[in-house]
Structures are given as C-alpha cells and as structure tokens.
Amino acid sequence: MAEFLREKAAVAEREHLPGSFVQVVADFLAAGGKRLRPLLCITGWHAAVGERTPPPAVIRVAAALEMFHAVALIHDDVMDQSSLRRGEPTVHRALTGQRIASGDSHESAERFGVGGAILVGDLVLTWSDELVHTADLTPGELSGLLPLIDMMRAEVMYGQYLDLAATGSPTDDVEQALTIARYKTAKYSVERPLHIGAVLGGAGHDLLDALTDYALPLGEAFQLRDDLLGAFGDSAATGKPRMDDLRDGKHTALVALALRAASGPSADLLRDLLGRPDLTDAQAERVRAVLIATGARDDIEDMIARHRDRIGELLSARGAIHPGALPVLHHLADSATRRSA
Amino acid sequence: MAEFLREKAAVAEREHLPGSFVQVVADFLAAGGKRLRPLLCITGWHAAVGERTPPPAVIRVAAALEMFHAVALIHDDVMDQSSLRRGEPTVHRALTGQRIASGDSHESAERFGVGGAILVGDLVLTWSDELVHTADLTPGELSGLLPLIDMMRAEVMYGQYLDLAATGSPTDDVEQALTIARYKTAKYSVERPLHIGAVLGGAGHDLLDALTDYALPLGEAFQLRDDLLGAFGDSAATGKPRMDDLRDGKHTALVALALRAASGPSADLLRDLLGRPDLTDAQAERVRAVLIATGARDDIEDMIARHRDRIGELLSARGAIHPGALPVLHHLADSATRRSA
C-alpha cells in the first residue's frame, strides 16, 4: 500500500497535480486501524488452501479492501461531522485546518474541507479499484472477483444509509438496529472479506456457506461491542470521542433495548438527551446510568457471549474450513468480541 | 439504465432496503442531461469499426459512463451547495426536503440530505462498476477496459480538486484555469469516453491519438462555453441558477482573463464581488459589464472559435478515424461549442 501511494505521489508531482491529496490519504492510512478486513481476506484464502504464504495478488486485493475501508471512513466522518479518527484529525478537519492556516476564513475553509474530503474519498475508491485491477489476477479470476466486490460495496452503502436515516431519533426497534449492524458490519466487514479471500483460493459453495455461518454472528458481536465502546469506552483507547454516539443519537441495539425496558422518567431522559449536540459530560453520565439500570448493557454483553459460544461450536465442527485457518478464526472471534478499542 | 434501476428497486424491496435510495437516482437520471459521455463512447466505437449498430456490451458501458457522471454531479452539488440541477432539486436538496416534509428540524434534515447524497453517490459509483462488470465483455476485453476507466476517474477527481481549491479566490492565472478545464472536462468528458468506446472496437494507438487530438480542443472549448453560460447564460435553458459561478468565485479562464486585463476600479470590483455568497442581481450585472468591457468575453469566444477551426481541419485530414464516425464528430464539435444550454 505504501509503495502504491509513493507511485501516486510521484505521478502527482510529475503532472503538477496537488500532492496534498495523496499525503492526506497516506497520513490517514498510516495512522493505523485494526486492518481487520485485509486480515480476514487472507484468512479466507487460508480457509480455502491451508496455511501457506499468500501470493502477491491476494495481498494486493487485501490491501484494496483496506483502501476501500478508508473511503467509507473518510465519507462517514464527513457525514457524522466527526473531528477525530484513530486519534488524529479526520480528513475533512485536516483539510479545513490547512486552509485556516493559510489564512482562509473559517466558513470557506470548512467548505473546502468537506468538499475535499468527499473528493479524496472518491479518488481513493478509484485507487482501491486500481489495486484490484493491477493485482496480476488472471482475467478469469478478476471476473469472478468483481461481482463480490460490487456486492460488498452496495451492502455497506445500504447499511450506512439505514444508519444515517435512523441517527438522531433512536427507537426501541431492536430488529432495525440489528439490520443496520448486519449490513454495515457483519456482511461488509467480515463475511465479504472472508469470501473474497476464499474465492481467490478457489473456494466452493460449502466453504463460502461455512464462512457465512462464522461471519454473521461474529460481525454482529463486533458491532455490539462497538456500540458498548461508543457509550462506555475509553476515548484514549478507541481514538474517537466517546460521547459521539450519544450526542449523535445513534440507533444502536444497546439504546433500543434500553428504550424498550425503560419506563417513566428513565424513558423520558433517554428521549430527551440522546441526539443532543450539546450533551454535557454530566448528562452523558445520566444516560449511561440508564443504559446500565435498564439491564441493556448486560443484555448486550449476553448477546455477545452467546455469539462467541456459537462461533466456538461452529469452529469445533469446522466442516469445510481448512484446519490451518482455525487458530486465526478463533483468535479473531475472541479479540473482536472482547476488545477494548 | 432504466431496466437496471428497476432491478435495483426490486432487490431493495425484497431485502427491505430503503427504496427512496433508488428512486432519487432514477429521478436524477430521468431529469435528462446531454448524455454527452455515452454518445462519445458509442462514437469512439464507430470511429474504430465504422457505422454499425453497437452491440449491447458497448451500450451497457456507455450507460455506465452516464451513471458515473451522475456520481460526479451528485457529489459536486453537495460540494458547491447547489440547489438546482437540470431544473430539478439536487439530490441533497431532494433528500433534505423529504425529511423536512416528515417533520424534521432544518438542521437535522440538512445533515441527512448531505450525508444521504454522499452515500447515494457512493452507491451509484458501485452501480456504474456493476454495469461494466456485467456487460458481457470477454475477460480479456474487461481487463483491457478497466485501466482506462480507472484513469478517467482519477483524472476527474484531480480536476475537481483543483477546481475546488481555486474556487472562492480566482486569480489572473489563465493557465491554471485551463489545467482545471483539461482534467475536469477535456480528458474526463471527451477524451476518455471516446477512448473507451474505441478500445471496445479494437482501436490501435493511431486511432487513440487521433481521438485525443480531437478531444482536447473540443473539451476545452466545451468548458469555455460552459464558463460563458455560467456567467451570461439563461438559467431557464441551463437548468441552474446563472449567478452560481459568480457567487462561488469560480476560477475560470473568463475570470482570469478579465482579472489580467482589468485595472484600477474594475479590478477592485471583480476582486470585491466575485465569490460573495450574498451577491445581488445588480452586483452580478456590474461583474458581467467588466467581463465584457475588459474584452474577456470576446477573447473566450475567439478561443472557442479557434478550437472549432482546428477541429474542423483535423477532421478533414481525418487519418485513423473511420469515415462513418465523421458526421457525428462534426456535429458534436459544432453543438458543444455553440450551445446555449
């Protein structure tokens, strides 16, 4: 990925194109992240062929998934008006900051930041495609892969749209929150990366189905853990302000369960405070107290534990999954459901 | 394209995904537009093989270009905060309007409109890919085509970024304005669509070079005409408010030439008024008077006429271009440079 970005920077310089465009992406990708999707892609390949060093083409496609994820995050941060990501300023904030530093008015700098971040996302989407197109796959492999990638992209966009539409006015509809989690996280972040790697390893339907059975509960548990971290996590560890989910009024399963269980003043408090852009620390603490008192937090922990158990059973039965891939799949299930960042 | 969108609407309904997402795109595409890129794609194919009915694969790729262009426009309208496109509300305004109608506050509806339009654009980008991937091309044709599409996308994003960075503070740098026009319009809107069609028709380097020689002056002339329409056009014909370019302070060759030629109070007037979000009709008229008095409008008309002549000579010499494609290429050059909308 670093090499690909260096090439892009060289092209920009040669053609007198704005290099800041490339730099902001390089900075964003260098700031880290869990690299979950590339790891899952390579694990999918292992699940098909056993534990061998993956060929460069598989690594390049794995990098394309990380690049695509950067697009989703860059655009998501514009939509959520988030200021921090991975402990660093988000792309639109970084661009806004550059313009303020060079003497622009706040309004004009903000406009440039938002527009620039939309364009940076669109450009990185093309780069992600380019990584796949230049991965030295056979034309047959490439045409087998592209429909999967198209599906993955459409799924995440639908998930994000459902999420956006529900944000600001959370309800007690737990099913709706889980549908959002399925599209945004379970399918996009877990199932498709595994499938993409597995298909590159020549997987048949049995293996793809087994990976789906693994991916959907894992992805849901991953999102439920994310929701808990969004409300109760330590922002120094997660790299994003922990009040954002509450301030935005995110429609999570956690909040939906609390709204379902709460009555009288507790319910009023949730409806009144969730989604307030000016939520104070003290108000956030009161929301958290209701999330705990209604049992919603414990219920979510139980759901996560049940998913973890189910994944454990599935991996013991294993079926079509190559045994060489099992340790990583176990490890991922464990860390994704227990993580604190 | 309509059939493809109907399929997408059916899938959305079956999967309980938000159908408004599909409808807003269908409305946008149905509102018209010049369909310039699909026409050029098919003309590129004709330039390679002569005037025959193009096969469905070529038509599908041509439709993908129109779909991609919709993405560029949807995102561009968010960045420019434009309210009208093709005489209809822009996507972010349409989504904002839906939410206001259902009782949302203006601020929250606006946020949904902007976020939704970013996502709609990202989804339509995937659909555009999908149209290419399912065009029934041979794997070999597909792998030949994809790098061209990647290049086209990167070029328009760079062009848009340069445009965005220069907007609000136009200078007398005519070269910079022409560079923006080359990336945004000449390469993206003319050269690449022609190349894409030609490559599908089996074109060699000679033909691609001849099409480049035709495309770059035509694209520049097209953009220069657009700049004139942006300042002097009739908004009933163009479908967008004609003060937008002046209010935004677009860095066009027209404005750059005027700034270069203006002195004293005229120069001050341009610097003071261009880019003012609250520009009044009377102020816009004063700007237009300076654009005329400095000779900038006439200079741009001369540049357009010179490009038209050059294209005429080139087409007379014709070289590698199949004679069957010449009438359309002549017609396009004529209408793109003389159009009033």
Q: Give tens-digit pLDDT for A30-88.
A: 887 888 999 999 999 999 999 789 999 999 999 999 999 999 999 999 998 888 888 88
**From B18, B122, B130, residue closest to A162, measured CB to CB:** B18
Task: Using the structure block, give the residue that is written with the tokens 């010499």.
Answer: B317
Compute the distance between CA of residue B159 and CA of residue B274 in angstroms, rounded to an integer.
21
Query: pLDDT digit string (tens) for B127-137?
Result: 999 999 999 99
**Taking 80 as the threshold, does the pLDDT of residue A243 lie above it?**
no
Residues in B closer than 8 angstroms to A130, CB to CB, are 147, 150, 154
Is A71 within 8 Å of B122 when comparing Cβ atoms?
yes
Average of per-residue pLDDT across A227-252: 82
Is B161 within 8 Å of A133 when comparing Cβ atoms?
no
The CATH number covering residue B112 comes to: 1.10.600.10
Q: What is the CA radius of gyration of chain B?
A: 21
Minimum mean pLDDT among A77-86, A198-207, B147-156, B170-179: which range? A77-86
Query: pLDDT digit string (tens) for B236-275?
Result: 776 666 677 898 899 999 999 999 999 889 999 999 999 9
Compute the distance between CA of residue B75 and CA of residue B73 in angstroms, rounded to an integer.
5
Is A129 within 8 Å of B146 when comparing Cβ atoms?
yes
Closest residue in A to B134 (Cα–Cα): A147
Closest residue in A to B116 (Cα–Cα): A161
Range of the structural domain that residue A293 is part of: 2-338
More confident residue, B106 or B300: B300
Alpha-carbon dihedral sign for residues A8, A10, A13, A16: negative
Contact status of A71 with chain B (Cβ, < 8 Å): yes
Is B123 within 8 Å of A18 when comparing Cβ atoms?
no
Confidence class for position B202, pLDDT limits 50, 70, 90: very high
Contact status of A142 with chain B (Cβ, < 8 Å): yes
DSSP B285-316: HHHHHHHHHTTHHHHHHHHHHHHHHHHHHHHH
Residues in B closer than 8 angstroms to A64, CB to CB, are none
Is B18 within 8 Å of A116 when comparing Cβ atoms?
no
Query: pLDDT digit string (tens) for B64-113?
Result: 999 999 999 999 999 988 888 888 899 999 999 989 998 888 888 999 99
**From B150, B162, B165, residue closest to A133, measured CB to CB:** B150
Tally of domains in chain B: 1
C-beta atoms surrounding B85 within 10 Å: 21
Contact status of A119 with chain B (Cβ, < 8 Å): yes
pLDDT at position B85 is 85
Residues in B closer than 8 angstroms to A16, CB to CB, are 179
Compute the distance between CA of residue B91 and CA of residue A116 in angstroms, rounded to an integer.
19
CA distance A324 to chain B (A): 32
Give the distance, in angstroms, between the CA of residue B220 and the centroid of all CA atoms in the same chain: 12
CA distance A142 to chain B (A): 8
Is A142 within 8 Å of B140 when comparing Cβ atoms?
no
Instruction: Report residue A274 as tokens.
Output: 């969730």
Contact status of A148 with chain B (Cβ, < 8 Å): no
Alpha-carbon dihedral sign for residues B32, B35, B38, B39: positive
Residues in B closer than 8 angstroms to A129, CB to CB, are 129, 146, 150, 153
Q: Roughly how many angstroms between the first and final C-alpha of chain A, as a whole number?
A: 24
pLDDT at position A259 is 96
CA-based nearest residue to A41, from A16, A80, A68, A17: A68
Give the distance, in angstroms, between the CA of residue B182 and the centroid of all CA atoms in the same chain: 12
Compute the distance between CA of residue B251 and CA of residue B275 in angstroms, rounded to an integer.
10
From chain A residues 21-60, the ones with a CB under 8 A of any chain B CB are: 21
* Optimal mutation site among B90, B106, B126, B156, interface A, most CBs of chain A within 10 A: B126
